[in-house]
Structure 1
Amino acid sequence: MTKSTGLPYRSKGPGALVTGGSRGLGLFMARQLVERGCMVTIAARDAEELERAAAQLREDTGATVHTAVCDVRDRTAVSALLREIHERDGLDLVIANAGVIQIAPVEAVGAAEFGDAMDTMFYGALHTSLESLPYLMETRGRLGLIGSVGGLLGVPHLLPYSCAKAAVGALAEGLHAETAASGVSVTVVHPGLMRTGSHRQAEFGGDVDAEFGWFSAAAGAPLLSMDAERAARRIVDAVIQRRTRLVLTAPAKAAQVVHGVAPGLTTRLSSVAARLLPSAPGRGPLRQGAEANEPRNPIAKLVRAWGSARNDRAVPGANQREAGPRTSS
């Protein structure tokens, strides 16, 4: 059974694309679009992961789901993908979600990590936006760009991610202003922490075990994080309803307000928080969360187990079971 979409009628269903759709939030958003009767294409870099995600969606919904191996950093590849979807299904809705996340103190990352974050999240969103807009203008379609609370303020130990997501937010707001007259709507979404199982795919530097411990605990803590399926439903609703902006989770909304009213105070509070986070023992290769060990400190181990339990339960449904190429949030 499909839900009412508010999207244009097509005999096959409205055409939709989700980049970074093979796992995590992207996969949950793809499911929401499938349930609304869309002909959905999910794109990511890992073919095996994509097929596993598509099989999961097909088994659960019985719908046709297309997959596309595509590196959003490559504008030529993105252009070819958008043209294929336009010709096959029509293109009514696009969500640019592909991302990477690195958790480490700034001393443990370099320019390469900042470049990787910008290439995947900002340039990936830019390529997806520029290549989809001509088709969306034909259908008066909808474009959604996934930012983050990390793009609303500089978050300690998440600086590459924060910088890239801040650029995505600016892109979305500018595109919204410039495309409104054409009938295309652009929605920017700034989620807070969500239980997507992404702690297994995220990359950690510095004291890897300790960084993984605090992040996985926070990302699964009931009062700090949000159920990913609920978040995906609200995001898809916002894009379909042509909302300009959506901020998810109470902590993210509070951070936005406080930073807007008192940015200096917010920065000082962030400095205090940074002192409580693990210190880096020096530069070294980043490692995925799936490779991290349990914290050595018994209290830290207890906090990690308490906070991440819900996030761990999201792993199978979010297709986060195995470490692989960094493709989605």
Structure 2
Amino acid sequence: MDLQNQTAIVTGGSRGLGLGIVEALVDRGARVTVVARTAGDLESVARRLGVGTIAADVTDRGEAGRILAELRPTILVLNAGAPPRMAALDKLSWETFSKTWNTDVKAGFHWLQAALATPLPPGSRVLVGSSGAAVLGSPLSGSYAGAKRMLWLMANYANGVSTENKLGIRFQTVVPRQIIAGTGVGDAAAAAYSAKSNVTLEQYFTRFGAPMPPRQFGEYVVTLLTNPLYEADLAFGLKGGTGISILEGAAV
């Protein structure tokens, strides 16, 4: 896919990994709109990068349908989510445990449905943000690992609907394979797990090898979109030192 003048939407693109994706897309000439909740963060991104912005609650079904129908993007990156409460299972209430399901999964559900119902143009790519926790678990972050695994599964389910209805939309999952410094989720997770392991933050981050700053993560996402090698597969792992790996291939 040539990104020049492609219409792209990135949810949660005003900070962290989402912002890294937005920067990389803009550098390739895509026309990007960032959807996020906080108007102040959106204004800052708009001034610096010249992107379009929409302040919206990504868990609102009506907003998802309205935005996709209005902009009809050929690239949709579902990155928005809420940082989980970091605590052991016995220290969480049901409300704090289920927070990620009520934000990340709910938002993914509505946006995936809207992408299929609008529908997006044939040849469109929808990238769904997951996490390495979906593979390995995360005992200090409540339902986070399960929620991120559910998003991975939902992307696959959406592919099935797209194929059955001959929509030509491709849904794929992006899985960071390390905790990333400088992001809300990454910093909170690193603080919790380093304290539990009785090591410093610096010592904890060395476990992952080479770092993967948000902008590098964004460049990997651009590679997924532009390199034909990655057009068909379903899930990709991204890591600072080793780049892109295929976690789940295309369905036969």
Instruction: Tell me the TM-score normalised to structure 1 length.
Output: 0.63
Q: Where does 1:281-300 land on structure 2 (aligned, <5 Å)?
A: none
Alpha-carbon deviation of 1:169? 0.9
Deviations 1:270-306 (A, max 9, x none): xxxxxxxxxxxxxxxxxxxxxxxxxxxxxxxxxxxxx
Q: Which runs of 4+ in 1 moved over 3 A?
A: 134-137, 199-204, 207-222, 250-254
Alpha-carbon deviation of 1:165? 0.3
Amino acid at match of 2:70: E
Aligned length: 237
Are the equivalent residues in 2 in contact too, given 1:144–1:239 (CA < 8 A)? no
- SS of the equivalent of 2:136 reads coil
The higher relative CO (CA closer than 8 Å, separation ≥ 6) is in 1
CA distance in 2, matches of 1:218, 1:106: 25
CA distance in 2, matches of 1:230, 1:239: 15
Residue in structure 2 matched with residue 41 of structure 1 by the alignment: 33
Residue in structure 2 matched with residue 6 of structure 1 by the alignment: 2
Query: Which protein shows a greater Rg?
Result: 1
Q: Would the alpha carbon gap of residues 125 and 212 (structure 1) be closer, same or farther in structure 2, given more than 3 Å must change?
A: farther
CA distance in 1, matches of 2:110, 2:238: 25
Between 1:107-116 and 1:244-253, the stretch displaced more is: 244-253
CA distance in 1, matches of 2:201, 2:88: 16
Amino acid at match of 1:97: N
CA distance in 2, matches of 1:46, 1:237: 29
Deviations 1:14-41 (A, max 9, x none): 1110001010000110111112211100
Q: Where does 1:104-183 land on structure 2 (aligned, <5 Å)?
A: 104-180=87-163, 181-183=166-168
Q: Would the alpha carbon gap of residues 176 and 225 (structure 1) be closer, same or farther in structure 2, given more than 3 Å must change?
A: farther
Give yes or no for the alignment of 1:70 onto 2:62.
Answer: no
Alpha-carbon deviation of 1:53? 2.0
CA distance in 1, matches of 2:198, 2:71: 41
Residue in structure 1 matched with residue 237 of structure 2 by the alignment: 247
Are the equivalent residues in 1 in contact too, given 2:176–2:237 (CA < 8 A)? yes
Are the equivalent residues in 2 in contact too, given 1:125–1:168 (CA < 8 A)? yes
Task: Give the alignment partner of residue 169 of structure 2, picking from 184, 189, 213.
Answer: 184
Are the equivalent residues in 2 in contact too, given 1:147–1:189 (CA < 8 A)? yes
The structure where helix makes up a greater share of residues is 1
Q: Would the alpha carbon gap of residues 245 and 237 (structure 1) be closer, same or farther in structure 2, given more than 3 Å must change?
A: same
Residue in structure 1 matched with residue 183 of structure 2 by the alignment: 198
Task: Give the alignment partner of residue 46 of structure 2, picking from 34, 50, 54.
Answer: 54
Instruction: Provide the aligned C-alpha RMSD in A.
Output: 3.3
Amino acid at match of 1:183: G
Give yes or no for the alignment of 1:230 onto 2:216.
Answer: yes
Alpha-carbon deviation of 1:197? 0.8
CA distance in 2, matches of 1:66, 1:247: 29
Amino acid at match of 1:131: A
- SS of the equivalent of 2:52 reads strand
